Amino acid sequence: MLRTGYVCRTMNTKTHDVSSFILSLSERLRSLFQNREVSPHAAQHGLDRAFTNQVLESQPLSVFIPERFGGRGQHVSECLSMLEACSYESLPLSLVMGINGALFLQPLSKYGSEAVQADVFPKFLHENALGGLMITEPGFGSDALQMQTSAERTGDGYRIRGTKHWGGLTGHADYWLLTARGMTPRGDLERNISFFAWDRSLGGIQVEEYYENLGLHMIPYGLNRIDAVVPESRKLEPKTTGVRMLLDLLHRSRLQFPGMAMGYLRRLLDEAVTHCKERMVGGKPLFAYDQVQQRLARMQAAFTACSGMCAFSSSAASVDNDCSGSALPANAIKTVVTDMMQSTAQSLLQLVGAKGYRMDHIAGSAVIDSRPFQIFEGSNDILYQQISEFILKGMGRVRESNLYRYLADFPNTSRVADYLKNSLSFSLTPDLSQRRTVELGKALGRIVSMDMVMKLGDQGFRKDLIDNCLSVMKTDVDAILHRFSSMADANVVEDYIDGAVWQDALPG
């Protein structure tokens, strides 16, 4: 029996080496956070480099580095376990690790030249280097492919010019993956996206402003002006096109969100159960109230669903796989698990009551720290739409209009389809309004996630947890599908003040 986070787990001998690595990381993190002067949940803007260096001494990032460069070999289950151990102690810390791993080290290991990898990876292993990714620009966020940052060929390599913002670790990362569009001979921007591995010694990135981010205070964000020359060797080489490389990177990253969510959801559940057993209201513990049990059961369902996603991603997100075609599971996992992170945080705050409504309480900080996960790396509203469009397109291709019949034959949903047969046995037309497409996507995302939960059950995960999770998620799917079928088509009334002053409507 080994402890990771605050939980006891049984591991077989095959996983012993991994578990002792994770165990010692967990213990070190717990001790570092306990002895830290500032509460890990208190508002503290900017990266505490000395503290981060102490964390990096345990080499958590080694899980993202190939064995031939001294890393632990990029086993996704290890990456997820490391992220889980971090997020049990601190969600922002886990995001720092996720940014470094999924948005810098993994792409570099897949698309960077051997010489650049040999130069860069030891810096992460032995010199506490940190990296990040800059895609977003002030004018182009969701529509990132329209980015205006240019990469112009020069004698020395590429001159990269543009403005990027919201790159996690702004001003503090030693390495950045910079995204830019090449230039045609006429000076126009190409459609294709290129990636360049920049490091501090190259200069040319000015932080023009640091943002007062609402949460995730450990991570600095801001606005960067870029005018840097990057050597040719630092350009990542796509297997096919730059856009496919971008999709491969983003889908692999989304598939690994459950690692960051896993420890966090477990921690919030543990906090909620402990609080509800201790807090007496009306002469009995909160734990004894039916409504409280409903909230706790939903929080536990999120824990189980996330476990299913981790098991799925352990093979699906391998660096050896081309994830550019994994839009459906990647988008389903990212949207559903981030919605669960936010609703679990809201539930914890509700259960803790006023005591939790403080920046230095985990319930309060959890609400603001988890919120941007629904926005970055693909806004959930947009990803839900894409999930629906993917399924509707597939149905169109095989001329099937009955949702149950299609999903019963579809690899990501065939295991769960019978469990939901009554709910899914209806016909769909492809010409849905955007709001209905998004609503349908919410249901489909949960159905894909339930399929992962069922498969987790097949692999021996605790049956009572699986049964509870499926029952909670089925209720959600039914409610969403009901909303989908009866959605109002109201639009916002512009210039609405005329005739809309309630006092004027009073009699007399």
Burial 200-238 (b: 16+ CB within 10 A, else e): eebeebeeeeeeebebbbbbbbbbbebebbbeeebbbeb
According to CB under 6 A, which one of 98, 157, 162, 167 is a site residue for ligand FAD?
Answer: 167
221 Ramachandran zone, left/alpha/beta (phi>0; psi -120 to 50):
beta
Are the C-beta atoms of residues 238 and 244 closer than 8 Å to each other? Answer: yes
CA pair distance 359, 445, nearest whole angstrom:
32
Residue 387 C-beta: closest distance to ligand FAD, Å? 13
Instruction: Return the structure tokens found at 266.
Output: 């477990």
CA pair distance 437, 397, nearest whole angstrom:
18
372 sits near ligand FAD (criterion: CB under 6 A): yes
92 sits near ligand FAD (criterion: CB under 6 A): no
CA pair distance 372, 216, nearest whole angstrom:
9
Residue 335 C-beta: closest distance to ligand FAD, Å? 12
132 sits near ligand FAD (criterion: CB under 6 A): yes
Are the C-beta atoms of residues 185 and 152 closer than 8 Å to each other? Answer: no
- Which range, of 59-67, 133-141, 151-159, 303-311, touches ligand FAD by CB under 6 A? 133-141
Quote the strand ranges of 200-277, DSSP E: 205-210, 222-231
250 sits near ligand FAD (criterion: CB under 6 A): no
134 sits near ligand FAD (criterion: CB under 6 A): yes
SS3 content of the chain, % helix, strand, coil (to 5): 55, 15, 30
Are the C-beta atoms of residues 473 and 420 closer than 8 Å to each other? Answer: no
SS3 23: helix
Owner of token pair 């010489």? 115
What are the residues facing 209 on neighbouring strands? 223
Residue 205 C-beta: closest distance to ligand FAD, Å? 13
Site for ligand FAD in 406-465 (CB under 6 A): none
Residue 117 C-beta: closest distance to ligand FAD, Å? 21
Residue 384 C-beta: closest distance to ligand FAD, Å? 10
Residue 134 C-beta: closest distance to ligand FAD, Å? 5
Residue 121 C-beta: closest distance to ligand FAD, Å? 20
Residue 103 C-beta: closest distance to ligand FAD, Å? 6
Residue 83 phi/psi, 5-degree rounding, is -65, -40
Backbone Cα Rg of the chain: 24
According to CB under 6 A, which one of 321, 379, 402, 468 is a site residue for ligand FAD?
Answer: 379
Instruction: Return the structure tokens found at 64.
Output: 């993202």
For residue 88, give Cα distances in angstroms to 22, 242, 270, 303, 343.
Answer: 12, 35, 10, 12, 17
47 sits near ligand FAD (criterion: CB under 6 A): no
Residue 443 C-beta: closest distance to ligand FAD, Å? 18
Residue 437 C-beta: closest distance to ligand FAD, Å? 10
141 sits near ligand FAD (criterion: CB under 6 A): yes
User: How many residues in the chain?
Assistant: 508
SS3 164: strand
- Which range, of 151-159, 162-170, 259-267, 451-459, touches ligand FAD by CB under 6 A? 162-170
SS3 205: strand
With CA atoms as reference, report the closest residue to 381 among 464, 320, 440, 296: 440
According to CB under 6 A, which one of 130, 133, 366, 452 is a site residue for ligand FAD?
Answer: 133
According to CB under 6 A, which one of 39, 136, 402, 468 is a site residue for ligand FAD?
Answer: 136
**DSSP per-residue string spanning 145-190:** GG---EEEEETTEEEEEEEEE--TTTTT-SEEEEEEEEE-TTSPEE
Size of residue set near ligand FAD by CB under 6 A: 19
135 sits near ligand FAD (criterion: CB under 6 A): yes
CA pair distance 113, 121, nearest whole angstrom:
12
What single-letter amino acid sits at 102?
A
Site for ligand FAD in 187-226 (CB under 6 A): 216
According to CB under 6 A, which one of 31, 142, 240, 241 is a site residue for ligand FAD?
Answer: 142
381 sits near ligand FAD (criterion: CB under 6 A): yes
Residue 153 C-beta: closest distance to ligand FAD, Å? 24
131 sits near ligand FAD (criterion: CB under 6 A): no
376 sits near ligand FAD (criterion: CB under 6 A): yes
Instruction: Name the residue nearer to ligand FAD (CB basis): 168 or 242.
Output: 168
166 sits near ligand FAD (criterion: CB under 6 A): yes
389 sits near ligand FAD (criterion: CB under 6 A): no
Instruction: Name the residue nearer to ligand FAD (CB basis): 215 or 457.
Output: 215
Residue 163 C-beta: closest distance to ligand FAD, Å? 12
147 sits near ligand FAD (criterion: CB under 6 A): no
How many distinct helices (H) and strands (E) make up the chain? Answer: 16, 11
**Would you tell me which residues interact with ligand FAD (CB under 6 A)?**
99, 132-136, 141-142, 166-168, 216, 372, 375-377, 379, 381-382
